Amino acid sequence: MINIENKVNCTSCSACVNICPKNAIVMEEDKEGFKYPRIIEEKCIKCGMCSKVCPMLEKYSNKEKYTQKPKVIAAWTKEEKIRLDSTSGGVFTELAKEILDNNGYICGAIYDKDWTVKHILTNKIEDLPQIRSSKYLQSNINLVYREIKEKLDSNYKVLVCGSPCQIQGLNKFLEKEYDNLITCDFICRGMNSPKMFTKYIHSLEEKYHSKAVKVKFKNKKYGWHNFATKIDFENGKKYIQNRYCDSYMIGYLNYNAFMRPSCYECKFKDFPKTADITLGDFWGIENIDPSLDNNQGTSIILLNSKKGEELFEHIKDKVSFKEIKSSKVFDENVCAKRSPRMTEQRKGVFENIDKLSYNELSKKYFPTPTPYIRMRIYIREKIRNIKRRMKQ
Ligand SMILES: Cc1cc2nc3c(=O)[nH]c(=O)nc-3n(C[C@H](O)[C@H](O)[C@H](O)COP(=O)(O)OP(=O)(O)OC[C@H]3O[C@@H](n4cnc5c(N)ncnc54)[C@H](O)[C@@H]3O)c2cc1C
């Protein structure tokens, strides 16, 4: 039976919860706000299925299907509105539309009412805007792998998008290859604590005296490279700050301050990937081919399998794209190959998460820059933008 003695050894993929024939495993939140499986002893029949499906104990691998050297493509959707509403180039939405148009199902992450994140499976196009966009905190899988299996067994096409560890968990849970399943993961920096995210939202709700009604990471009002976080409030007020001024992004990107323990030693960064398609931000594309970066978002697409290539063929006329043969594709995307570094700040945050308010934690462990530094950053960004435009 699974026994998580060291938290580094669990990604919360929930394959164990989904496979358990007796529903004897529940996910429980720890002090840091991350979920881990707990076995209900009275229900457990010690069949060992939970250990068998755990991708941390044995990885899913089908080397014949997935290539060591994926085709690399830079792309964005031709639909400007969707591109602006997406985190990178909006390629995920085009893949999803293709599946939905063919009577299939899509599975992805949405915000819940309490600003936690969960995966849902749907065949409704109206759900797509909620699934679109990165939510920079860990999503709950709940029992969605079981729902996916049911649809696959009924011969529906299903597109599933999740973190590499979630796709590993799904593949291990399913046990066999399904021709009608297509998986998509993304280059992943790591999953933040839902508890920290809730504290962040509540701190802003207090400041704005209103409930948050919409959260958008990587809002593109000031450009994709600006990494702005935008939050709309019920009273009509809006919060928008770039990556150098928004404390949550500073904590995530500059201090690695509140990620899941397993993310600091991620086991799923290697090739071959086990998703058919891997998506990401094509950071550094301006150095490879400046004409492919107009600061509105360019996706990197890795086609890891024949199935991935085939699906891309079907959306080719919906996206602007170019195959990239450069060896520098990951040079500016540090998380494509390496895990983020564990930091002292992370230890500080979680030792004090229940003692200090969000603003106190931020001030102490992941401070926002002074107005003088902000001004310098602002000028530097302006100059970068001008240079980017001149290169085009
Ligand atoms: C936590 C996280 C960290 C990331 N780190 C990097 C990075 O370091 N480098 C990089 O190049 N790209 C990273 N990405 C990927 C990037 O942000 C985009 O999601 C990706 O490029 C696809 O963009 P898109 O415009 O095609 O589609 P989008 O519409 O932006 O993609 C959304 C897809 O991502 C899924 N998704 C969103 N949030 C979550 C979540 N919390 N858990 C699981 N699935 C989720 C949705 O279900 C949807 O299928 C990260 C994404 C996430 C969620």
**287 or 108: which carries more pLDDT confidence?**
108
Plot region of 69 (φ>0 → left; ψ -120 to 50 → alpha; else → beta): beta
- pLDDT higher than threshold 90 for residue 377: no
pLDDT digits (tens, 9 = 90+) for 134-173: 999 999 999 999 999 999 999 999 999 999 999 999 999 9
In a domain? residue 1: no
Query: Mean pLDDT, to the nearest integer, of 303-324?
Result: 97
Assess if residue 99 is contained within a domain: yes
Does 341 have pLDDT greater than 90? yes
Judgement on whether residues 40 and 127 belong to the same structural domain of the protein = no
**Which residue among 12, 120, 161, 186 is best mutated to probe the pocket of ligand 1, counting the most ligand atoms within 8 A of its Cβ?**
186
- Output the residue whose Cα is nearest ligand 1's atom 4: 188
Q: If you average pLDDT over every residue of the chain, what do you get?
A: 95
Tell me the pTM: 0.96
Instruction: Give the closest residue to 276 by CA, choosing from 181, 188, 189.
Output: 181
Helices (H) and strands (E) in the chain, counts: 14, 14
Nearest residue by C-alpha to atom 1 in ligand 1: 136
pLDDT for 267 equals: 96
Residue pair 22/177 in contact (Cβ under 8 Å)? The answer is no
Cα(233) to centroid(ligand 1), Å: 24
Position 391 scores a pLDDT of 66
Q: In angstroms, what is the span from residue 131 Cα to ligand 1's centroid?
A: 10
Q: Note whether 221 and 150 are same-domain residues.
A: yes
Residue 122 within a domain: yes
Nearest CA to ligand 1 atom 16: 280
CA 87–ligand 1 middle distance (angstroms): 7
- Please state the atom number of ligand 1 nearest to the C-alpha of residue 192: 1
Are 348 and 365 spatial neighbours (Cβ–Cβ below 8 Å)?
A: yes
pLDDT average, residue stretch 105-132: 98
Cβ atoms of residues 82 and 90 within 8 Å? yes
Q: Domain check: are 34 and 77 in the same one?
A: no
- Is 205 in the same domain as 72? yes
Overall size of the chain counted in residues: 392
- What share of the chain has pLDDT > 70, as a percent? 99
Which tens digit of pLDDT belongs to each residue from 202-213?
999 999 999 999
Residues 190 and 46 in one domain: no
Which DSSP category does 259 fall into? Answer: B
pLDDT computed for residue 84 by the predictor: 97
> Is 300 domain-assigned?
yes
Pocket of ligand 1 (CB under 6 A): 86-93, 108-109, 117, 131-137, 139, 161-163, 186-189, 191, 279-281, 299, 333, 335
CA of 211 to the centre of ligand 1 (A): 25
pLDDT value at position 389? Answer: 67
280 CA distance to ligand 1 middle (Å): 7
The confidence score (pLDDT) of residue 3 equals 86
- Tell me how far the alpha carbon of residue 370 lies from the centroid of ligand 1, in angstroms: 30
Shared-domain flag, residues 38 and 118: no
Residues 82 and 118 in one domain: yes
| In the predicted structure, residue 392 carries a pLDDT above the cut 80 | no
Residue 31 belongs to a domain with what CATH number?
Answer: 3.30.70
Residue nearest to atom 12 of ligand 1 (CA): 280
Q: What is the pLDDT of residues 43-95, one digit of tens each?
A: 999 999 999 999 999 999 887 889 989 999 999 999 999 999 999 999 999 99
Number of domains within the chain:
2
- Hunting for tokens 């599933």 — which residue is that? 160
- What's the 272 CA to ligand 1 centre distance in angstroms? 19
Residue 46 domain flag: yes
CB neighbourhood size of 305 (10 A): 22
Q: What is the pLDDT of residue 309?
A: 97
Say what the pLDDT of residue 211 is. Answer: 98
- Position 264 scores a pLDDT of 98
Mutate which of 87, 95, 119, 330 for ligand 1? The one with the most ligand atoms within 8 Å of its CB, which is 87
Ligand 1 atom closest to 91 (CA): 26
What does the pLDDT average to over 271-299?
Answer: 95
* pLDDT score at 376: 82
Give buried/exposed letters for 181-208 (b at 16+ CB in 10 A, else e). bbbbbbbbbbbbbbbbbbbbbebbbeeb
How does residue 388 score in pLDDT terms, banded at 50, 70 and 90? low
The reply to whether 27 and 81 lie within a common domain is no
Instruction: Give the C-alpha separation, 75 to 301, whole Å.
Output: 7
For residue 168, which of 24, 33, 27, 14 has the smallest C-alpha distance?
14
Q: Are residues 165 and 29 in the same domain?
A: no
CB–CB of 14/145 below 8 Å?
A: yes
Atom of ligand 1 nearest to the CA of 299: 21
Give a yes or no: residue 2 inside a domain. Answer: no
Same-domain check for residues 220 and 328: yes
State the residue range of the domain holding 392. 59-392
Atom of ligand 1 nearest to the CA of 166: 43
CA of 165 to the centre of ligand 1 (A): 13
- Ligand 1 centroid from CA 256, angstroms: 17
The answer on 95 and 34 residing in a single domain is no
Same domain? For 348 and 237 the reply is yes
